[in-house]
C-alpha cells in the first residue's frame, strides 16, 4: 500500500529474526530483559557478563557473545545465544524474560483544521509547549526540511540531556538526534547517522511539531500551510529503522536513551506481531517511560480490515488507529468516448496531449513469455512495442505503473479488486479505478477502432468524515481479552507533511522526483497526530499523568461513522478532538500501584513484577489492593471478549473518576444500549465538592446470547454535568471464528 516502503516490506517478508545460522548449534540474537535499574554501586555490565559466563561457561565466548547493554533507564542486554543458554538464562531469578531479537516494520496541512486546531488557536502557555521535547523512534530526520526551521526559538530547555551523534542538522528545533544499529548491519542504502534515508521519520516528526510553512504542497497537490499539531515543541530523533527493518534490540536501545535524555513524550510509528508484555520491546520501553511520567503513543498497524490484527496493545500505551478526513484525492481518466472514470491516486503529472493511445495488458502480451499474468501487467509479460507511448489498462493495482514505465508507456489505468480509501503516488501518470467502472473501460477498449484515453492531474473532492481507514488494524487484541484496543483514531489517510530529499517520492529508483513534502498514508501518520494532541493537553496540564492525558483524549473523542462491526473494532473511543480534550471534566487515572495489581491479576509472579518495577526486590501481590472486575484496570473504555462456552453475558467494571472540571458539580449517567443488553450504573449520579476529588462507580453488564445475534454488542455510558461530557464505549464481543 505504501509505495515508499515497498523494498522494506519485501525484505521483512524474508527476515523476521536476526540470526547467525539456522540450526541449534549456531547462535541467534536474544534480548535478556532484567527489569528496572538496580541500586547505586552495582555494575550492570559486570552483572551481565557474569550471567553470560554462567550460562555459556567460556570467558572468551561470553565476552564476544554480548552485543549491547541497557543501563540508563532499565536493565538488560543483547547477546548471541544457543538454545540451552536461553533456557539457562530464563531460569535465573534476576531475569524477567529472554526473547528473540526480531525485526519490526514502519507503519507507513488540512488535518489540523479538520481537528479544530486552526492556525490562530489559542495555545495557553506557549512557553510551556516550547519546553516540551517529543522523542520519535523512526527512520531518522531530514533536518534541512523547512518544517524544522528554528527561527524564533529560544534556548534549548535546560532539562535536556540529549545530544546529536554524527549529525550536523541539530538546532533549537531539532535538539537531539541519535542512531542505533547494534549489529552494524548497514546496506548500501543506509546512512550510518540519524539522516533519514526513507522519508518516514521526517514525515512523522513534522506532523507532530513542524513549524508553519506556507504554500506547502506536493507538486501543487494539497497546497496550504503545513504545520505540526504543536509547532512550538522540540524534536529529538532516535533512528532505529533501516533498509532491513527496525530490530527489537535497536528499539530498546533507543528507549533506554530517550528516557534518560529527558523527552516528555515518545511517538512510535512501528509495530510487529503482539507478544506477552515483557517479551515485547515497545511494551517494555513504554512501561519504563510511563514510570518516569512519559506517555508513549504508538500506531495500531496497517493490517485492516481483518480483525485481531491490532498491535502495540499494552494498556500503558496509547494505541492509535487511522481515520479519514473530509478530503480525498481523485484522479480522472477520460476515455475517447467521453466517459470519465474517477479513480484514486496521487498523480502529480499534467497531460501533455489531449489524448493518448489506449491498450490493455491482455492486448499487449509478449507472446514469448509463458510466465506471469499479462492482463495484470506483470513484469516481463508485455511487449514493449505494444506499450510504448500508450496508456495501458491493467487488472490489478500493485505497482503496475512502475512496470509500464519500464516499457515506455505513457500511463497506467489500474483496476482495483475492492473499494479503497487511500491514494498511492504513481511513478507515471496513473489512476486506480473502482470495480464498478471496469466493465465500461474493458468494453470500450475491445470495441473502439482506435481506443484513446487521457489521465488528468489529481484533484481533491469532499467526502463524509471521519471514518476508519480500510487499512487500519482492528481489534480485538490477543494479549489481554478485556482491554479494548485500539484506543483512539487520528487522521492517517493522504497526509501531506515534510519529507527527506534522499528517497524519491514513491521509493522507486525509476522515479526521478524528490520533494521536501510528500503525501503518504498509514497508522504511521495517525500516531503523530495523536502524539501532538497529547503534547497539547500536557502543555496545558503539565501535572497530569500519562494515563490522565490519554483518558482526556479518549473520553472527549468525536464519534466515528461506523459502517460495520469491523470498523467498530478499529475505532476505539473515536477520533481525537484536541481542543475538547483540554477540558474533559472527568479523567480516569491509573497509578503504578494500579498497574502492579493489574500485572498480579494477569498472572505475573512476585519476582518478575519486583524486577520490572523495582529492580531487585520482590513484590508481594497480596499486599496490593486486588484488581477488581472483569478487566482489573481503571480504563476509559469497557470491554470483554466472551469465550466459546458462554451462554450469557455477565461483566462488571469498577471505575474511579477524578474531577478536573468545575469544583462543585453533579454528573448524571446516561446509557445507550442495544436490545437484549442491560447496563446498570451504580450510583447513577456522582457529586463533587472540589477539584481533584475522586468518586467511584460500578457498571454491571448483563444479557442473553441469542443464537442469531451479531458478533458484537455496543453500548455507551456518558457522564454529563451542565458543562462537560465524558463518553465511555462499552464493547461486548462474542467469540470470533478462527
The residues with which 179 forms a beta bridge, in sequence order, are: 239
Q: Residues 48, 200, 529, 541: which is the catalytic one?
A: 200
CA-angle at 22, arms to 18 and 24, nearest 5°: 110
Q: Residues 49, 130, 138, 247: which is the catalytic one?
A: 138
SS3 1: coil
Active site residue 401: no
Exposure of 396 by Cβ count < 10 A (0-12 exposed, 13-18 middle, 19+ buried)? middle
DSSP string, 71-136: -SSS-EEEEEE-HHHHHHHHT-TT--EEEE-BEEEE---HHHHHTT--TT---S-HHHHHT-EEEE
Contact 587, 657 (CB under 8 A): yes
Distance between CA 378 and CA 371 in Å, rounded?
A: 9
CA distances (Å), origin 163, targets 135, 159, 175, 199, 273: 12, 12, 7, 22, 32
Residue count (the chain)? 738
Distance between CA 31 and CA 101 in Å, rounded?
A: 6
CA distances (Å), origin 48, targets 30, 34, 259, 617: 13, 10, 21, 18
Contact 494, 470 (CB under 8 A): no
Distance between CA 255 and CA 208 in Å, rounded?
A: 19
Considering only CA atoms, which of 229, 226, 197 is closest in space to residue 212?
Answer: 226
Active site residue 473: no
Active site residue 232: no
- Cα 588 vs. chain centroid, distance in angstroms? 23
CA distances (Å), origin 56, targets 22, 93, 593: 19, 17, 37
Distance between CA 610 and CA 446 in Å, rounded?
A: 72
Angle of helix 592-601 relative to helix 606-614, nearest 10 degrees? 150
Q: Residue 446 — φ and ψ, nearest 5°?
A: -90, -5
Q: Could you check whether the bond before residue 466 is cis, i.e. omega within 30 degrees of 0?
A: yes
DSSP string, 506-566: SS-TT-----SEEEE-SHHHHHHHHHHHHHHHHHH-TT--HHHHHHHHHHTPBPPB--SHH
- The kind and range of the H/E element at 611 are helix 606-614
Q: Hey, which residues are catalytic here?
A: 138, 200, 524
Amino acid at each position: 500500500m505504501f509505495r515508499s516502503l515497498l523494498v522494506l516490506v519485501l525484505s521483512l517478508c524474508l527476515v523476521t529474526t536476526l540470526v547467525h545460522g539456522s540450526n541449534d548449534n549456531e547462535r541467534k540474537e536474544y534480548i535478556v530483559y532484567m527489569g528496572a535499574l538496580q541500586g547505586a554501586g552495582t555494575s550492570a555490565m559486570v552483572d551481565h557478563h557474569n550471567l553470560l559466563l554462567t550460562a555459556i561457561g567460556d570467558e572468551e565466548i561470553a565476552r564476544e557473545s554480548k552485543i549491547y547493554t541497557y543501563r540508563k533507564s532499565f536493565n538488560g542486554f543483547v547477546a548471541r545465544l544457543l538454545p540451552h543458554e536461553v533456557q539457562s538464562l530464563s531460569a535465573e531469578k534476576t531475569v524477567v524474560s529472554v526473547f528473540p531479537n526480531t525485526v519490526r516494520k514502519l507503519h507507513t496541512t488540512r488535518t489540523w483544521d479538520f481537528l479544530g486546531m486552526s492556525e490562530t488557536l489559542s495555545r495557553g502557555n506557549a512557553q510551556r509547549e516550547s519546553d516540551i521535547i517529543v522523542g520519535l523512534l523512526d527512520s531518522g530526520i531530514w533536518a534541512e526540511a523547512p518544517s524544522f526551521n528554528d527561527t524564533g526559538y529560544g534556548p534549548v530547555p535546560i532539562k535536556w540531556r540529549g545530544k546529536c551523534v554524527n549529525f550536523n542538522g541539530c538546532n533549537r528545533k531539532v535538539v537531539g538526534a541519535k542512531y542505533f544499529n547494534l549489529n552494524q548491519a548497514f546496506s548500501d542504502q543506509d546512512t550510518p547517522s540519524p539522516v533519514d534515508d526513507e522519508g518516514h521519520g521526517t514525515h512523522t516528526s513534522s506532523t507532530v511539531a513542524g513549524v508553519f510553512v506556507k504554500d506547502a504542497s506536493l507538486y501543487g497537490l494539497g497546497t496550504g500551510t503545513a504545520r505540526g499539531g504543536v509547532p512550538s515543541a522540540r524534536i529529538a530523533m532516535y533512528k532505529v529503522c533501516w533498509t532491513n527493518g527496525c530490530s527489537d534490540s535497536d528499539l530498546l536501545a533507543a528507549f533506554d536513551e530517550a528516557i534518560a535524555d529527558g523527552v516528555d513524550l515518545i511517538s512510535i510509528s512501528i509495530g510487529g506481531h503482539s507478544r506477552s508484555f515483557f517479551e515485547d520491546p515497545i511494551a517494555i520501553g513504554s512501561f519504563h517511560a510511563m514510570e518516569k511520567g512519559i506517555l508513549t503513543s504508538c500506531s495500531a498497524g496497517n493490517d485492516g480490515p481483518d480483525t485481531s490484527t491490532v498491535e502495540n496493545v499494552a494498556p500503558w500505551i496509547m494505541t492509535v488507529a487511522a481515520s479519514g478526513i473530509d478530503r480525498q484525492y481523485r484522479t480522472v481518466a477520460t476515455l475517447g468516448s467521453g466517459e470519465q472514470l474517477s479513480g484514486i491516486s496521487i498523480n502529480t503529472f499534467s497531460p501533455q496531449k489531449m489524448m493518448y493511445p489506449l491498450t490493455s495488458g491482455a492486448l499487449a502480451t509478449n507472446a514469448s513469455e509463458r510466465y506471469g499474468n499479462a492482463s495484470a501487467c506483470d513484469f516481463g509479460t508485455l511487449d514493449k512495442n505494444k506499450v510504448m507511448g500508450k496508456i495501458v489498462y491493467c487488472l490489478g493495482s500493485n505497482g503496475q505503473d512502475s512496470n509500464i514505465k519500464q516499457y515506455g508507456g505513457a500511463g497506467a489505468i489500474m483496476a482495483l479488486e475492492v473499494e479503497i480509501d487511500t491514494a498511492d503516488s504513481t511513478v507515471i501518470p496513473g489512476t486506480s479505478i473502482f470495480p464498478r467502472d471496469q466493465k465500461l473501460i474493458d468494453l470500450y477498449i475491445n470495441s473502439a477502432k482506435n481506443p484513446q484515453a487521457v489521465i488528468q492531474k489529481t484533484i481533491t473532492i469532499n467526502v463524509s468524515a471521519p471514518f476508519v481507514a480500510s487499512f487500519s488494524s482492528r481489534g480485538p487484541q490477543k494479549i489481554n481479552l478485556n482491554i479494548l484496543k485500539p484506543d483512539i483514531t487520528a487522521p492517517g489517510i493522504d497526509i501531506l507533511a515534510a519529507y527527506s530529499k534522499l528517497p524519491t517520492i514513491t521509493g522507486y529508483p525509476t522515479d526521478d522526483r524528490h520533494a521536501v513534502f510528500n503525501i503518504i498514508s498509514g497508522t504511521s501518520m495517525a500516531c503523530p497526530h495523536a502524539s501532538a494532541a497529547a503534547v497539547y493537553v500536557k502543555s496545558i496540564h503539565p501535572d497530569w499523568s500519562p494515563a490522565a492525558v490519554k483518558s482526556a483524549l479518549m473520553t472527549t473523542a468525536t464519534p466515528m461513522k461506523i459502517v460495520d462491526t469491523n470498523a467498530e473494532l478499529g475505532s476505539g473511543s473515536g477520533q481525537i478532538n484536541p481542543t475538547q480534550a483540554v477540558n474533559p471534566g472527568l479523567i480516569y487515572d491509573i497509578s503504578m500501584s494500579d498497574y502492579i495489581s493489574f500485572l498480579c491479576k494477569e498472572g505475573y509472579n512476585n519476582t518478575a513484577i519486583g524486577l520490572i518495577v523495582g529492580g531487585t526486590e520482590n513484590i508481594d501481590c497480596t499486599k496490593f489492593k486486588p484488581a477488581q472486575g472483569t478487566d482489573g484496570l481503571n480504563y476509559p473504555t469497557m470491554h470483554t471478549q466472551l469465550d466459546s462456552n458462554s451462554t450469557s453475558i455477565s461483566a462488571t467494571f469498577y471505575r474511579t473518576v477524578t474531577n478536573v472540571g468545575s469544583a462543585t458539580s453533579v454528573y448524571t449517567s446516561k446509557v445507550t444500549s442495544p436490545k437484549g443488553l442491560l447496563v446498570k450504573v451504580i450510583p447513577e449520579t456522582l457529586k463533587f465538592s472540589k477539584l481533584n476529588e475522586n468518586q467511584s462507580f460500578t457498571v454491571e453488564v448483563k444479557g442473553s446470547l441469542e443464537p442469531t445475534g451479531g458478533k458484537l454488542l455496543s453500548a455507551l455510558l456518558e457522564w454529563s454535568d451542565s458543562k462537560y461530557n465524558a463518553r465511555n464505549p462499552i464493547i461486548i464481543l462474542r467469540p470470533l471464528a478462527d
